[in-house]
A and B are shown apart, each in its own frame.
Chain A
Amino acid sequence: MAQYWQEIHALTMRWVRRLSREKFSMLFTLVQPMLFWLIFFGNLFQRAANVQVTQAPDYISFLTAGVVVMTVLNNGLAGGVDLLFDKENGFLERLMTTPIHRSSVILSRFIFVMTITSLQVLVILGVAFLFGVQPATGLLGIATILMIGMLFGVGLTAISMAMAFSVKSHGDFFSVLGFLSLPMIFLSSALVPLAGMPAWMGFLARFNPMTWAIDAVRPLILSGWTDALPHVGMVVVVMVIFDALCLYGSAKVFRRAMG
């Protein structure tokens, strides 16, 4: 057990070090979602968005939940990228010849992605706060938001890592990533509530786990516990099923790839 922890700690610290050496990329990773979506998109649609439809005091406060979950989505889907590079340049092979638990590599990645995502979510909530968005459920609500983010993120990161191990080239990986990300956002309640969507899009969005996450995070920010609790309960069930499916599928891939 001590050995297991030593491996996971060392591997996780490697991801942290890499990130700290890539200051530029770190800055962009952190800033991008709030800059593009929250600040630009949020302010752009401030007047164009119909308050009757969004059921929120203003568009930015409506959008905050969407941006939080979008961040989880993008970080999760990109979570396998570093492993992809490790696979391509032989570093993974080097790790695999050491007497480590095969799962340490995967776990270190989960820990790292979850931590970074949580920090980013906190930054987004902080920026939203500057635009006057105060989470209605307070600190406990924020903790709940982080938990929902992690539940969703685990499944996504698993998919991403499984993809990293299965693709032939990193070109394929990034094509699939680009193809997945935006449709997932548009076919969710991130930008427009389900009720405000064209019927067919609203129908499809209901099958998107992201919608369930957003619909739980939104009342935590906008209204309060009484409104939020049923949604939170629901999202936990949805995410447990989602994660179980993702982990089951990717575990097979990991076992094949790492022996």
Chain B
Amino acid sequence: MDRAIAIQVSHLTKTFDGHTAVSDLSFEVYSGEVFGLLGPNGAGKSTTLRTLITLLTPTSGTASVLGHDTVREADVVRQLIGYVPQERAIDRFLTGREHLELLGALYHLPKAEATKRIAELLKLVELEEPADRPAKTYSGGMKRKLDIACGLLPDPKILFLDEPTLGLDVQSRLRIWDYMRMLKARGMTIVMTTNYLDEADQLCDRLAIIDKGVIKALGSPTELKIGLGGDIVSLTLKDQTKIPTLVTALTGQPAMRAVKATPTGLDIRVDSPEKALPAILESANRLDCRLEFIEYHRPRLDDVFIAHTGRSMTESVQDIQTG
């Protein structure tokens, strides 16, 4: 695998009016990979992304894109990247084609070259038919496709996407994922933010889990999950008063790494399910704990998130929304 460094972030800190959005962030993005910034709203993902695309100046620390500093050589960086902002960054009165033509001029493409690329991109994102209708007539999914076409127009070395599928229906979402896989297959480096765990899991080669402006974990989804150590067996008991008894019985048994009570049963982290499951069932039987449901799964990204931040991704999203 090509391990050339595409993006280097070192000790990046950004504060807004005394509030620290990101604090001492350091990471690399390799050429040709899909790199994800995963975290709840307000975690600092967008601040990081916006620094990389030259929209924000770091308070301290540096970021460089393909060897060019995002502050001192902002103009060079802008030539090399494409950006897909969150939805609505669209002029409702312009047609899809006019969006692309405008950007073509802003990237200083010669007219013939622009026309050729625009035709290719409209075909790629399946917007040929509505290309000459004002964007206000587009659905959410179509706007997103137009956004992506806009991001690809400069033929960028690195594509940045901010929450690429936020608020989209399932079908459009899968379509966007297809495009991203295809771009990756063509060798494009992609950096994206997301607060969807499944999206990060499906698309990213490596990801950084960011919470409260700090990187909590960094690695490939598989590495992060393995890093947690052990698969998880979840039990739901019929009689919840028996939970403490069973916890006591299982704690310390050879195959169990960690036993934790939950509101409806137990979560047990195990080394190998082959050894652990019979032992669990045997104990449950002996103590007359009738099981309502038993679930076994490999750690999911949500478990990784909980392990590193102490709360679940969905909880923190709710925190933001209600608080």
Question: What is the bound-complex CA distance between A23 and B133, given in angstroms?
Answer: 16
Chain A's closest residue to B54 (CB) is A97
Complex contacts, B1 vs chain A, CB 8 Å: none
CB distance from A7 to the nearest CB of B (A): 6
A98 and B107 form a contact (CB under 8 A) = yes
User: Among the listed stretches B97-105, B210-218, B303-311, which one makes contact with chain A, having 4 or more residues with CB under 8 Å of it?
Assistant: B97-105
User: Among the listed stretches A14-22, A69-77, A137-145, which one makes contact with chain B, having 4 or more residues with CB under 8 Å of it?
Assistant: A14-22
B85 and A17 form a contact (CB under 8 A) = no
CB distance from B156 to the nearest CB of A (A): 10
Q: Does B178 touch A at the CB level, under 8 Å?
A: no
Chain A's closest residue to B89 (CB) is A90
Complex contacts, B81 vs chain A, CB 8 Å: 97
Q: Does B93 touch A at the CB level, under 8 Å?
A: yes
B93 and A17 form a contact (CB under 8 A) = yes
Q: Does A230 touch B at the CB level, under 8 Å?
A: no
CB contact under 8 A between A99 and B102, given known A18-B94, A89-B88, A94-B150: no
Chain A's closest residue to B154 (CB) is A98
Q: Does A175 touch B at the CB level, under 8 Å?
A: no
B89 and A21 form a contact (CB under 8 A) = no
Chain B's closest residue to A258 (CB) is B55
Question: What is the bound-complex CA distance between A6 and B105, given in angstroms?
Answer: 6
Complex contacts, B91 vs chain A, CB 8 Å: 14, 18, 86, 91
CB contact under 8 A between A99 and B108, given known A11-B102, A17-B98, A93-B55: yes
Question: What is the bound-complex CA distance between A7 and B108, given in angstroms?
Answer: 8
Could you tell me which residues of chain B, from 144 to 162, have a CB within 8 Å of some CB in chain A? 150, 154
Q: Which of A11, A91, A259 contacts B89 (CB 8 A)?
A: A91
CB contact under 8 A between A94 and B83, given known A10-B106, A89-B88, A259-B55: yes
Q: Does A53 touch B at the CB level, under 8 Å?
A: no
Could you tell me which residues of chain A, from 87 to 139, have a CB within 8 Å of some CB in chain B? 89-91, 93-100
Q: Which of A22, A93, A99 contacts B78 (CB 8 A)?
A: A99
A259 and B57 form a contact (CB under 8 A) = yes
Q: Does A226 touch B at the CB level, under 8 Å?
A: no
B106 and A7 form a contact (CB under 8 A) = yes
Question: What is the bound-complex CA distance between A21 and B91, given in angstroms?
Answer: 11
B102 and A14 form a contact (CB under 8 A) = yes
Which residue of A9, A86, A96 has the most chain B CB atoms within 10 A of its CB atom? Answer: A96
Could you tell me which residues of chain B, from 102 to 134, have a CB within 8 Å of some CB in chain A? 102-103, 105-108, 134
Q: Does A52 touch B at the CB level, under 8 Å?
A: no
Question: What is the bound-complex CA distance between A14 and B89, given in angstroms?
Answer: 15
CB distance from A228 to the nearest CB of B (A): 41
Complex contacts, A99 vs chain B, CB 8 Å: 75, 78-79, 106-108
CB distance from A170 to the nearest CB of B (A): 15
Q: Does B316 touch A at the CB level, under 8 Å?
A: no
Complex contacts, B90 vs chain A, CB 8 Å: 89, 91
Complex contacts, B74 vs chain A, CB 8 Å: 259
CB distance from B281 to the nearest CB of A (A): 55
Which residue of A22, A90, A95, A99 has the most chain B CB atoms within 10 A of its CB atom? Answer: A99
Question: What is the bound-complex CA distance between A14 and B50, given in angstroms?
Answer: 25
Complex contacts, B172 vs chain A, CB 8 Å: none
Chain B's closest residue to A8 (CB) is B105
Question: What is the bound-complex CA distance between A6 and B150, given in angstroms?
Answer: 18
Question: What is the bound-complex CA distance between A11 and B57, given in angstroms?
Answer: 25
CB distance from B115 to the nearest CB of A (A): 14
Complex contacts, B10 vs chain A, CB 8 Å: none
Complex contacts, B94 vs chain A, CB 8 Å: 14, 17-18, 21
Q: Does B86 touch A at the CB level, under 8 Å?
A: yes
A-B complex: 7 closest residue pairs judged by Cβ atoms: A10-B105, A90-B89, A99-B78, A21-B93, A98-B106, A97-B83, A18-B93
Which residues of chain A have a CB within 8 Å of any CB of chain B? 3, 6-7, 9-11, 14, 17-18, 21-22, 86, 89-91, 93-100, 259
For this complex, 9 residue pairs linking A to B, each with C-beta atoms less than 8 Å apart, are A3-B108, A18-B93, A21-B93, A21-B94, A89-B88, A91-B90, A95-B106, A97-B55, A259-B57
